[in-house]
Amino acid sequence: MAKATWEGKECNVRVDSDLESNWSVSILSGEFDPVSLIKRPAAPIVMKVRAKSRWLALDTGLRALKAQGKITDYTIEPRPAEEIAAEEAEKAKKKAARAAPTEEEESDA
């Protein structure tokens, strides 16, 4: 689980999917929302991010929050191996698709 340091406290980080590739990265302070009728964690910092995967959204959101000075530090798990393999396969597929039309054009000439 990812952790972020906010106002000198180590806080949990939650990532939720909003829509297809939109994500919400929330820093949970450990306190409860005083306005809510149900006891739910207060999220004093929330950032919306557009990313291809949950891990990329988490990484992008925490980097941005640190760059803005809203958090002082963060820890994150390494990127899952299957996600890296899927991205490499997608890159290879795109590269092959770009190379295929040029071969057909050469044979037509």
Instruction: Report the C-alpha gap between 31 and 102 in whole angstroms.
Output: 59
Is the separation of the CB atoms in 25 and 13 below 8 Å?
yes
Question: What are the pLDDT digits (tens) for 38-95?
Answer: 777 777 888 999 998 889 999 999 999 999 999 999 999 888 888 888 888 888 888 8
pTM: 0.70
What pLDDT score does 64 carry?
Answer: 94
All structural domains of the chain with their residue ranges? 3-77, 80-109
